Amino acid sequence: MNKPITASTYVRCLNVGLIRKLSDFIDPQEGWKKLAVAIKKPSGDDRYNQFHIRRFEALLQTGKSPTCELLFDWGTTNCTVGDVDLLVQNEFFAPASLLLPDAVPKPINTLPSKVTVTVEQKQMPLYGSNRTSVMPCQNPEHNSMPPDSSSPESKSLEVSDTRFHSFAFCELKDVTNNFDERPVSIGGNKMGEGGFGVVYKGYVNNGCCSEEACSSG
């Protein structure tokens, strides 16, 4: 009856069948080289140099497993399964789970992030060093009576209200009283300052819209 494997179990005491299972995971794509480079002496120096690695590599031509020979050789130093946490450090999680399943980090289930939908907007023409973008805002009068969704006009209005609109610069000057810098509270058109510039309020076809003058300099 085999003894249970613990962190204090000597690698040299692992049965050959388990060593071969480990090699099935580590041999492909020369994972054994990565493991050999990670093994250190007590002094901190590399245990295996390029000469050793070439010697292990030559075993492939004879049909032997470099991983098996590496573990057999490393086992002569009385290393333990606890030392094989190098497998976890080098992300060999599958073979590490054969030795110490509890030492392998469990995957964290994350909820999918919310999808952010953006609406394309037409690029506004530049005037000097400034550019202006305009977006509609809701008119309180429109909120008092919900539109008939079956009406073609209301469907068109719904689509247009969710998009940006393009206006000529002279039209923007007209609806904002030539970009009146006075606050809205005293009869002007300035609503405040946003992340990209000054925000003005204007009225287009009896509807309210907000406009942001963006400086490109």
The single-letter DSSP state of residue 10 is B
DSSP H helices, the chain, are 16-26, 31-38, 50-58, 66-75, 86-89, 93-99, 140-143, 152-161, 169-175
> Is the model more confident about 138 or about 101?
101
Q: Give the full edge-to-edge strand order of the sheet including 197-204.
A: 130-136, 207-215, 197-204, 190-193
The whole-model pTM stands at 0.46
**Residue 75 is encoded by which pair of tokens?**
């086992």
Confidence band of 119 (pLDDT split at 50, 70, 90): very low
pLDDT tens for each residue of 21-43: 999 999 887 889 999 999 999 89
Residues of the chain within CATH 3.30.200 domain(s) are: 130-215
> Is the model more confident about 149 or about 39?
39
Confidence band of 136 (pLDDT split at 50, 70, 90): low
- Gap between the terminal Cα atoms of the chain: 78
State the average pLDDT over residues 189-210. Answer: 68
Lowest mean pLDDT segment, chosen from 13-17, 26-30, 43-47: 26-30
Half-sphere exposure of 93 (CA within 13 A, CB side): 6
> Is the model more confident about 204 or about 66?
66
Residues of the chain within CATH 1.10.533.10 domain(s) are: 11-103
The single-letter DSSP state of residue 196 is S
Angle at 215 (CA atoms; ends 122, 209), nearest 5 degrees: 50
DSSP helix/strand/coil, 56: helix
The CATH number of 11-103 is: 1.10.533.10
130-215 under CATH 3.30.200, yes or no: yes
pLDDT at 159: 42
Confidence band of 215 (pLDDT split at 50, 70, 90): low
Confidence band of 144 (pLDDT split at 50, 70, 90): very low
Q: What is the rounded average pLDDT for all residues in the chain?
A: 73
pLDDT tens for each residue of 65-95: 999 999 999 999 999 988 888 888 888 888 8
